[in-house]
Amino acid sequence: MVKQFIKRIIILNIVFALIMTIYRIIFTFYYSSWSNLSGYLNDLIQAFILGVRYDCAILAYINSLVTLFFIIFWFIGSQKLFIKFVKSLKYYYMFFFGFIVTLLCIDFGFYSYFQNHMNILMFGVFEDDTQALFSTIAENYPVVWVGIGFISIFVFVYFLTKIIVEKKVIGYYIERTKIYIKIILSLILLSVNFITARGSFGLFPLGVDNAEISTNTFINKVAINGIYTLQAAIEARSKEKDRDYIEKMGYSKNNMVKAFSDFLNVDISSIDKNEPENSLNKTTKYNKDIEEIKPNVVFIMMEALGTDLMHYNSESFNVLGEFKKHIDEDIMFYKFFPANMGTIGSLESAITNIARLPLSQFLCQSKYAYNKYFYTGPMPYKNSGYETIFMYGGNSGWRNCTSYMPNVGFDRVIGEGSMPKDYERNQWGVYDEYLFDYIFRVLEENDNKKFIYIMTTSNHPPYSLPSNYKQPYPLELNEQLKKDITGDMKLSKMRFATYQYSAQKVGEFLTRLKNSKYADNTIIAITGDHNFWNTFSYPVERKLDEMSVPFYLYIPKKLKPNKKIDTDNIVGSHTDILPTLYNLSLSNTKYWATGTDLLSEDAEKNIASNCLGSIMTKDNYVIYDFASGKEKYFTWNKDKPREIIPTEENEEHKNMVKHYKSSVAIAYYMLINERGKIK
The pLDDT of 644-660, averaged and rounded, is 97
Nearest Cα to Cα of residue 573 among 334, 283, 326, 298: 334
Question: Rounded to whole angstroms, how far apart are CA atoms 525 and 516?
Answer: 17
What is the model's pLDDT at position 571? 98
Q: Does position 22 have pLDDT exceeding 80, yes or no?
A: yes
Residue 137 DSSP symbol:
H
Instruction: Give residue 485's identity as a one-letter amino acid code.
Output: I
Identify the burial level of 450 via C-beta atoms within 10 angstroms of its C-beta, where 0-12 means exposed, 13-18 middle and 19 or more buried: buried
Q: Is 325 left (phi over 0), alpha (psi -120 to 50) or beta?
A: alpha
Q: Does position 242 have pLDDT exceeding 60, yes or no?
A: no
Give whichever of 4-13, 21-30, 192-201 has the largest mean pLDDT: 21-30
Question: Rounded to whole angstroms, how far apart are CA atoms 302 and 530?
Answer: 9
What is the model's pLDDT at position 302? 98
pLDDT tens readout for residues 526-566: 999 999 877 888 888 999 999 999 999 999 999 999 989 99
Residue of 636 and 160 predicted with greater confidence: 636
Q: Which range (19-33, 154-168, 284-298) has the least confidence?
A: 154-168
Question: Rounded to whole angstroms, how far apart are CA atoms 231 and 237?
Answer: 10
Instruction: Give residue 637's identity as a one-letter amino acid code.
Output: N
Q: Does position 108 have pLDDT exceeding 90, yes or no?
A: no
What are the boundaries of each domain within the chain?
2-238, 257-676
Residues pairing with 644 in the sheet: 636
Q: Does position 170 have pLDDT exceeding 80, yes or no?
A: no
What is the model's pLDDT at position 240? 55
Strands 620-624 and 631-636, how do they pair? antiparallel
Strands 387-392 and 450-455, how do they pair? parallel
Measure the N-to-C terminal CA separation of the chain; round to a whole number of Å.
75
Contact 355, 664 (CB under 8 A): yes
The pLDDT of 217-233, averaged and rounded, is 82
Q: Does position 128 have pLDDT exceeding 60, yes or no?
A: no
What is the model's pLDDT at position 616? 98
Model confidence band, residue 304 (pLDDT cutoffs 50, 70, 90): very high
Model confidence band, residue 247 (pLDDT cutoffs 50, 70, 90): very high
Q: Does position 138 have pLDDT exceeding 70, yes or no?
A: no
pLDDT tens readout for residues 585-609: 999 999 999 999 999 999 999 999 9
The pLDDT of 417-431, averaged and rounded, is 92
* CATH 3.40.50.1980 applies to domain 257-676: no
What is the model's pLDDT at position 215? 65
Give whichever of 40-54, 108-122, 168-182 has the largest mean pLDDT: 40-54
Q: What Å distances lie between residue 313 and 141, 309, 324, 463, CA to CA?
A: 29, 7, 9, 19
Nearest Cα to Cα of residue 116 among 484, 492, 536: 536
Model confidence band, residue 433 (pLDDT cutoffs 50, 70, 90): very high
Contact 557, 575 (CB under 8 A): no
Q: Which range (88-102, 108-122, 278-292, 441-455) has the least confidence?
A: 108-122
Instruction: Give residue 212's identity as a one-letter amino acid code.
Output: E
Model confidence band, residue 120 (pLDDT cutoffs 50, 70, 90): low
Look up the pTM and report it: 0.76
Residue-wise DSSP of 149-168: HHHHHHHHHHHHHIIIIIHH
What is the model's pLDDT at position 175? 63
Residue-wise DSSP of 170-220: BTBPPPP--HHHHHHHHHHHHHHHHHHHHT-SSSS---GGGG---SSHHHH
Contact 436, 298 (CB under 8 A): no
Q: Does position 569 have pLDDT exceeding 60, yes or no?
A: yes
What is the model's pLDDT at position 200? 80
- What would you report as the CA-atom Rg of the chain, rounded to the nearest whole angstrom? 28
Q: Does position 168 have pLDDT exceeding 70, yes or no?
A: no
E-strand stretches of 580-663: 590-592, 608-609, 614-616, 620-624, 631-636, 644-646
Q: Does position 653 have pLDDT exceeding 70, yes or no?
A: yes
Residue-wise DSSP of 314-366: -SSB-SSTTHHHHHHHSEEE-SEE-S-SSHHHHHHHHHHTSPPPTT---GGGS
Residues pairing with 281 in the sheet: 592
